[in-house]
Amino acid sequence: MVTVIFANGEFADGPAVREALDAADFVIAADGGAEHALRAGMKVALVIGDMDSISSPTLEKLANSYVEIQKFPPEKNETDLELALLEAARRDLSAIRVIGALGDRLDQTLANIYLLGLPQLVGRDARLVSGKQTMWLISAGDHVIMGRPGDTISLIPMGGAVSGVVTSGLKYPLNNETLQFGPARGISNVIEHESPRITVASGLLMVVHTIGRA
């Protein structure tokens, strides 16, 4: 079951977004993300947030359609997207795709990326999707990347160094290397073979998969 969460950032359409929408079984809108969801022709099951960015007509339309609405006060510790992700975890939804998490506010964009590190999302397949790109976090273990030859893969350390990085099926292999926070060592690799693999010994790595050349 794939859950799509619409945030209130930039809706950048593209092939990765279309793949997520086509796979959607359950749709959550984080406040004004409901506007994106409706324009995309999606059936919203839940709207959550402080309702400061959704229009009154849209909110009324959804309420009249018996959509579940969870309203929170504006003075809260969590962002609307954080509330949506926590609710998805509370419902034990495992495959989560977030659309509209990026935009022209750098602080909000970075915060939304960091939300993938929520403890409640550990063990869940949570990813941000925008245009032709998908990003997610991987930790220690062996991971298979579902992509096609010619796609671009970037590996970015999060929260410090990531050690013991080994890749196969990529143009520029990494052989038990450490990716340090700062240098752009893992940027713009290219898939050469189907189902490339990434092994991590320790640390947290952000994977950015771009369909085709970035």
- Model confidence at 214, in pLDDT bands (50, 70, 90)? confident
The pair of structure tokens assigned to 20 is: 């997520």
Mark whether 61 and 150 lie in a shared domain: no
Mark whether 186 and 206 lie in a shared domain: yes
Q: Which of 90, 110, 131 is the last residue of a domain?
A: 131
Mark whether 86 and 147 lie in a shared domain: no
- Could you give the number of structural domains in the chain? 2
Q: Which of 89, 110, 131 is the last residue of a domain?
A: 131
pLDDT tens digits, 104-120? 999 999 999 999 999 99
Distance in angstroms (rounded) separating the CA atoms of residues 144 and 131: 22
Mark whether 75 and 145 lie in a shared domain: no
pLDDT tens digits, 73-109? 999 999 999 999 999 999 999 999 999 999 999 999 9
Domain that holds residue 184: 137-210
Max intra-chain CA distance, the chain: 57
Q: Is the per-residue pLDDT at 43 higher than 90?
A: yes
CATH number at residue 117: 3.40.50.10240
pLDDT tens digits, 58-76? 999 999 999 999 999 999 9
Distance in angstroms (rounded) separating the CA atoms of residues 161 and 27: 35
Pairing of strands 177-179, 152-168: antiparallel
- Model confidence at 30, in pLDDT bands (50, 70, 90)? very high
The pair of structure tokens assigned to 150 is: 């010619």
CATH number at residue 204: 2.60.120.320
Mark whether 56 and 145 lie in a shared domain: no
Phi, psi at residue 92, to the nearest 5°? 60, 40
Mark whether 122 and 158 lie in a shared domain: no
Q: Which of 70, 100, 131 is the last residue of a domain?
A: 131
- Rounded to two decimals, the pTM is 0.96
Other beta carbons within 10 Å of 122: 11
Mark whether 77 and 159 lie in a shared domain: no
Distance in angstroms (rounded) separating the CA atoms of residues 29 and 17: 15
Q: Is the per-residue pLDDT at 9 higher than 90?
A: yes
Mark whether 29 and 126 lie in a shared domain: yes
pLDDT tens digits, 133-190? 999 999 999 999 999 999 999 999 999 999 999 999 999 999 999 999 999 999 999 9
